[in-house]
Amino acid sequence: MTLEDDIGILAGVEIFEDFTPEQMRLLAFGTERQRYSIGRELYGEGDTADSAYVIVSGVVALVRDTEAGRVVVAQCGPGSLLGEMALIVETKRLTGAVAAGDVEVVRLNRALFRRMLEEYPQIAAMLHRRLTLSLTTMIARIESLAPKFQ
């Protein structure tokens, strides 16, 4: 895949839609393509989060480990952004992520993303708005899933 392909993939992700072409090129330049076969773990629940992932192809299951076993809490397909909070803050993974089939992702590095925020403060303001909305939505989803974990 080319840099232009990666730019196209990232441009389809809502959180990046307001990036300028220059910003998208810089973001895409720092990505890493990764492939996973069915059952392989992208990351585990509780792992230190230092990157986010955009699903290029395939489906990734977000899982939680409970006393009753592993529970799939969501499935994400192409264009989904996993772990976006890891781009801006040091955190732990709230769920694990497992390839539900053959999966290709673009991995985004937090260090590069933070440099972009320093260089382009307007991105930081835009992301603050988007992440606030995303966090509110995520909390509502978690609350709706709470009965599964009781």
Report the 3 state secondary structure along 35-87.
EECCCCEEECCCCEECEEEEEEECCEEEEEEECCEEEEEEEECCCCEECHHHH
Residue-wise pLDDT for 95-137, tens only, equals 999 999 999 999 999 999 999 989 988 888 888 887 788 788 8
pLDDT given at position 50 = 93
CA 1 centroid distance within chain: 20
* pTM greater than 0.95: no
Question: Does residue 62 surpass a pLDDT of 90?
Answer: yes
Structure-model confidence comparison of residues 61 and 141, the more confident one: 61
Split at pLDDT 50, 70, 90, the class of 150 is: low
CA dist 127 and 133 (Å) reads 10
